[in-house]
């Protein structure tokens, strides 16, 4: 007799392709009798279970220990449930034929990795009820329960865990075992309602009516789920502890009936998870594209404004341009600096999420790469710097032009006043009827006029020089200046011609003239240059001046003091000239001569000399006051320079120190990533709190510009330099925080422990000898060797190192960032969902078809994700295509990129 060994109520494990049953509690014991109630339940349940399969072959059994005695229906049952052919049975009626057939069945069971303990063919042939039930239980375990596994649990535990999960939402249901947990019938009804809610009105069931509950579940299962009635409601209710094996057998039928729905649910969950990641990533991509477009559009609009070098005509208009530029620097640009920084942070975060979800890297649309934005920003700052320099130069030019134009008008007015009536004087014919003395007087008068004319030559040349400079500086009112200058020059030429003509006329009659009063002549000759000196002095004392520093105004004060030192000598000359006139009157009075009028040789009277001298005396203190006021203004300007310099000399080193500290923080590792992030955010807050110092410096800078101060010898820092440093500081701390956030995101998504991340950072920093934040190829190789990678300098090691470098440095830059390093290490030790897994999930939802329909997607997925798929799936064009078929394979490929498949 062949001895087969089996363990009942067993669970199956797979090891190396071999199936091994592990013995559990409640083993069959041939020396013990079954509880009568349990035996009754097992008979009914096992019989119904066998018939649920035998009916597929057109037969059934009535008595489980009698109908399997010849082995024929036993062999048929095994063929139906396994789908395999057994050896041909023997048709004889003798005991040996029956034993041989049962042995063939037991041999087949043993071939499936089952060891039958204490069950022999003779006992089955003899109709031993306990042994027959034990054999059928072994078959049920092997073919109905063995493959049930939830979260890598054993068969029995897996089936129990499945029941617990499915019934968890239902009140009054608490599945803890396969016996008393099912007595009130609510658990059976809950399983059916969970999968087919339309079949049962669960809320109407009562816990205190177990028979009704059990019968309801058994009838619904038999009628709608094709699960035969394997249990009797009254037997279960009237038994203190229902038979565990009977309950397990019946519940396993529910599991198999709903397993298809379970697979579809799992597939749908996987697809929903993948689609949610993709939808979030697409939203981030759209946000990036919009932010990039808005920023580039702002730069595109701003650069032409900054490149516009069309000068304005007046200082007021140019100063308004400067004020507009200040508003741009204070109000409009700072938010754009933040947007640019946030754009880079969003881009890095998106790429990290794409890597973590095994998606292709994000490639922005053409012209919207981070490098494109940096390039546009660089052009913006170039235009900005040139614009500010141009504005200041233009203001200086207009200031100079206004000064020259006013100076031109003053000198031109003085000259025009002097020339008024001179042409009429030169063209009169008074000498034709004059006496000799009168002729001589006219000639001397004309000589005095020529002296006066020569003295005015310098002023005419100055007027022409100023007009020429105004033309060279592109003065907006140059045409009127040129016209006025041309008129003065033409008049000057005409005066020269008329003077020459009158001299010739007077000289023709000179022989008829007698001596002239020498005193009048001496007076006229000395009075003319002195009068011209006084006019020049008055002009100089009223002359406008413009200076930019204390040294220049002190130079004007020194020159003015020198001028004042000459006044006593000038007064002596005035008194000497007036003495000549007094001598004339003395002689005339002494000789009884009646003077006919004023000095015939000059129009300069002693009264006019005294009047002009008094004017000079008045202008000197006025000039003193103007110079002292300008000195006070320059001293105020020097105070503004020192005030700005003191603050700038403190802020500049502070910014540099903070930049260096951020560099050290990004390299050092103190505490967890969360600790580092908290520390960096506190550090960022301390930087932000420093902003009032920058604002104060901006206010000082504005005062300097409003005072038209263009240089500062007390500091090497400019406002532009400090602005750039401040913006770089804010950007650097934000980027450093984002790097830590991305490391936390990578750690959490990849399941990297804090100790692993610490080890990675320690290794990375150890080989980053120059503290550059990246590892060059040889440094990275040394780091890999320290972590146990075989990349030594040999053929195999070189190939492995080339493979790894292709992953961490796809652009062949020769440098590996820390983010790329931890991405590689996490990819080496963790798994992610793949395109193959997503395709397999869609295939389950599609019922193994090569396509899926919109109706199926809407039935299996949440509404928003179903519509997301429908909108993006291309029509399926395979040979088995039907109207409305969608291609889920190409869609899954697009999610991950071709390289993943």
The kind and range of the H/E element at 471 are: helix 457-472
Around Cβ 197, how many Cβ atoms within 10 Å? 10
Max alpha carbon distance in the chain (Å)? 195
Q: Does domain 529-639 have CATH number 1.20.58.60?
A: yes
Q: What pLDDT shows up at residue 309? A: 78
β-strand partners of 817 = 774
Q: pLDDT category, 726, cuts 50, 70, 90?
A: very high
Element (H, E) at 876: none
In angstroms, the CA 899 to CA 893 distance is 9
3-state SS string for 41-85: HHHHHHHHHHHHHHHHHCCCCCCHHHHCCCCHHHHHHHHHHHCCC
Are the C-beta atoms of 406 and 398 separated by less than 8 Å? no
| Displacement of CA 332 from its chain's centroid (Å) | 18
Q: Find the range with the poorest average confidence among 97-111, 309-323, 588-602, 818-832.
A: 588-602
Q: Round to whole Å and give the CA distance between 732 and 687.
A: 11
Summarised one tens digit per residue, pLDDT across range 472-490 is 877 777 888 899 898 889 8
Q: Is residue 738 within 8 Å of 819, Cβ to Cβ?
A: no
Taking the domain 405-515, which CATH number applies? 1.20.58.60
Task: Of 302, 284, 291, give the one whose Cα is nearest residue 373.
Answer: 291
- Residue 145 carries which DSSP code? I
The alpha carbon of residue 146 and the mean position of all alpha carbons in its chain are separated, in whole angstroms, by: 55
List the single range of 613-617, 695-699, 826-830 with lowest mean pLDDT: 826-830
Q: How far apart are CA 552 and CA 404, in angstroms?
A: 18
Task: Give CA separation, 135 vs 65, 93, 101, 191, 239, in Å.
Answer: 11, 22, 15, 28, 24
E strand or H helix that includes residue 815? strand 815-817
What mean pLDDT do residues 188-206 have?
92
Closest CA to 541 of 559, 527, 553: 559
Number of Cβ within 10 Å of residue 108's Cβ equals 20
User: Is the pLDDT confidence value at 649 over 90?
Assistant: yes
Q: Is the pLDDT of residue 505 over 70?
A: yes
Is a pLDDT exceeding 60 seen at residue 827?
yes
Per-residue pLDDT, 201: 92
Q: What share of the chain is helix, strand, coil (3-state, %, to 5)?
A: 70, 5, 25
* Alpha carbon distance 274, 895 (integer Å): 9
Give the C-alpha separation, 377 to 340, whole Å: 9
854 has a pLDDT exceeding 70: yes
Is the model's pLDDT at 453 over the cut of 90? no
Output the pLDDT for position 900.
Answer: 37
How much is the average pLDDT of 74-95? 89
**CATH code, residues 268-400:** 1.20.58.60
176 alpha carbon, distance to own chain's centre: 53
Residue 86's nearest CA partner among 61, 62, 67, 103 is: 103
pLDDT of residue 653: 95
Q: Which region, left, alpha or beta, applies to residue 788 given φ > 0 means left and ψ of -120 to 50 means alpha?
A: left
**Separation CA 859–CA 874 (nearest Å):** 19
Q: Do 405-515 and 835-895 share a fold? A: no
How far apart (Å, rounded) are the C-alpha atoms in residues 636 and 644?
12
Q: Among 1-10, 24-33, 195-204, 725-734, name the one with the lowest average pLDDT.
A: 1-10
Alpha-helical (H) ranges within 547-605 are 550-565, 567-591
Is residue 128 helix, strand or coil? coil
Contact 602, 527 (CB under 8 A): yes
Between the alpha carbon of residue 78 and those of residues 82, 85, 100, 114, 514, the distances in Å are 6, 9, 15, 14, 166
**Class at the top of the CATH hierarchy for domain 651-667+680-826:** mainly alpha
For residue range 414-434, list pLDDT tens digits in order. Answer: 888 888 888 888 888 776 665
Superfamily of domain 835-895 in the CATH hierarchy:
EF-hand (1.10.238.10)
Residue 215: predicted pLDDT: 95
Residue 18 sits at φ, ψ, to 5 deg, of -95, 130
Considering only 237-241, 480-484, 561-565, 777-781, which range has the smallest mean pLDDT? 777-781
pLDDT classification of 829: cutoffs 50, 70, 90: low
d(CA 782, CA 883) in angstroms, rounded, equals 59
CA atoms in the 13 A half-sphere facing the CB of 435: 6
At 860, the pLDDT band (50, 70, 90 cuts) reads confident
Ordered by start, the domain boundaries in the chain are 268-400, 405-515, 529-639, 651-667+680-826, 835-895
Asked whether the predicted pLDDT for residue 510 surpasses 80, the reply is no
């Amino acid at each position: 007799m062949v001895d087969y060994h089996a363990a009942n109520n067993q669970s199956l494990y797979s090891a190396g392709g071999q199936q091994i049953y592990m013995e559990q509690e409640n083993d069959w014991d041939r020396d013990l009798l079954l509880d009568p109630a349990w035996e009754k339940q097992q008979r009914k349940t096992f019989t119904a279970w066998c018939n649920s399969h035998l009916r597929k072959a057109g037969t059934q059994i009535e008595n489980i220990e009698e109908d399997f005695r010849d082995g024929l229906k036993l062999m048929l049952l095994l063929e139906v449930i396994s789908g395999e052919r057994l050896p041909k049975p023997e048709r004889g009626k003798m005991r040996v034929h029956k034993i041989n057939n049962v042995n063939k069945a037991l041999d087949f069971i043993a071939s499936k990795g089952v060891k039958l303990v204490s069950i022999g063919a003779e006992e089955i042939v003899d109709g031993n009820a306990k042994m027959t039930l034990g054999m059928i239980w072994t078959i049920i375990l092997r073919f109905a329960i063995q493959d049930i596994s939830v979260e890598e649990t054993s068969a029995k535990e897996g089936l129990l865990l499945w029941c617990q999960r499915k019934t968890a939402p239902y009140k009054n249901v608490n599945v803890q075992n396969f016996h008393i947990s099912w007595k009130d019938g609510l658990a059976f009804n809950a399983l059916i309602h969970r999968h087919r809610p339309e079949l049962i009105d669960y809320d109407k069931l009562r816990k205190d009516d177990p028979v009704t509950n059990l019968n309801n579940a058994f009838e619904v299962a038999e009628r709608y789920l094709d699960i035969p009635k394997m249990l009797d409601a009254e037997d279960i209710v009237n038994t203190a502890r229902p038979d565990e094996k009977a309950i397990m057998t019946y519940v396993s039928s529910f599991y198999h009936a709903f397993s298809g729905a379970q697979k579809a649910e799992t597939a749908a969950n996987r697809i929903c998870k993948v689609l949610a990641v993709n939808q979030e990533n697409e939203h981030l991509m759209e946000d990036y594209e919009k932010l990039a477009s808005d920023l580039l559009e702002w730069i595109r609009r701003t650069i032409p404004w900054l490149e516009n070098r069309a000068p304005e005509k007046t200082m007021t208009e140019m100063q308004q341009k400067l004020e507009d530029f200040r508003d741009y620097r204070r109000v409009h640009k700072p938010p754009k600096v933040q947007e640019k920084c946030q754009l880079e942070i969003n881009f890095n975060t998106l790429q990290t999420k794409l890597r973590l979800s095994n998606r292709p890297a994000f490639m922005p649309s053409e012209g919207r790469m981070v490098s494109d934005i940096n390039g546009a920003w660089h052009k913006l700052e170039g235009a900005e710097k040139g614009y500010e320099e141009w504005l200041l130069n233009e203001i200086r030019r207009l200031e100079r032009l206004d000064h020259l134009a006013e100076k031109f008008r003053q000198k031109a007015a003085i000259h025009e006043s002097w020339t008024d009536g001179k042409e009429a004087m030169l063209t009169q014919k008074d000498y034709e009827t004059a006496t000799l003395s009168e002729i001589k007087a006219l000639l001397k008068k004309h000589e005095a006029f020529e002296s006066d004319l020569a003295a005015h030559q310098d002023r005419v040349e100055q007027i022409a020089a100023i007009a020429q400079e105004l033309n060279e500086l592109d003065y907006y009112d140059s045409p009127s200046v040129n016209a006025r200058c041309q008129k003065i020059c033409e008049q000057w030429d005409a005066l020269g011609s008329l003077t020459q003509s009158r001299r010739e006329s007077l000289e023709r009659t000179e022989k008829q003239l007698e001596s002239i009063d020498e005193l009048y002549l001496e007076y006229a000759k000395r009075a003319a240059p002195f009068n011209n000196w006084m006019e020049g002095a008055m002009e100089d004392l009223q002359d406008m001046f413009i200076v930019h520093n204390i040294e220049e105004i002190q130079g004007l004060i020194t020159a003015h003091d020198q001028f004042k030192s000459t006044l006593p000598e000038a007064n002596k000359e005035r008194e000497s000239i007036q003495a000549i006139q007094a001598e004339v009157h003395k002689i005339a009075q002494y000789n009884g001569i009646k003077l006919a009028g004023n000095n015939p040789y000059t129009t300069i009277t002693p009264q006019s000399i005294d009047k002009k001298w008094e004017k000079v005396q008045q202008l000197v203190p006025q000039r003193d006051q103007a110079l002292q006021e300008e000195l006070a203004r320059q001293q105020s300007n020097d105070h503004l320079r020192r005030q700005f310099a003191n603050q700038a000399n403190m802020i500049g080193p502070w910014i540099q120190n903070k930049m260096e500290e951020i560099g050290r923080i990004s390299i050092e590792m103190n505490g967890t990533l969360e600790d580092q992030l908290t520390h960096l955010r506190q550090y960022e807050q301390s930087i932000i709190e420093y902003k009032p110092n920058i604002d104060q410096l901006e206010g000082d800078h504005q005062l300097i510009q409003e005072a038209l101060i263009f240089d500062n010898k007390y500091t090497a820092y400019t406002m532009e330099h400090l602005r750039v440093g401040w913006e770089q500081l804010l950007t650097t701390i934000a980027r450093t925080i984002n790097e830590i956030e991305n490391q936390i995101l990578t750690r959490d998504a990849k399941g990297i422990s804090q100790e692993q991340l610490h080890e990675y950072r320690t290794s990375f920093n150890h080989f980053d000898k120059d503290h550059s934040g990246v590892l060059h190829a040889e440094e990275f190789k040394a780091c890999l060797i320290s972590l146990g990678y075989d990349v030594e300098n040999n053929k195999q090691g070189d190939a492995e190192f080339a493979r790894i470098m292709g992953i961490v440095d796809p652009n062949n830059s020769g440098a590996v960032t820390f983010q790329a390093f931890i991405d590689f290490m996490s990819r080496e030790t963790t798994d992610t969902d793949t395109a193959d897994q997503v395709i397999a999930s869609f295939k389950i939802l599609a019922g193994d078809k090569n396509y899926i329909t919109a109706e199926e997607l809407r039935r299996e997925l949440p509404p928003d994700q179903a519509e997301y798929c429908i909108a993006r799936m291309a029509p399926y064009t395979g040979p088995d295509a039907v109207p409305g078929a969608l291609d889920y394979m190409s869609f899954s490929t697009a999610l991950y990129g071709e390289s993943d498949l």
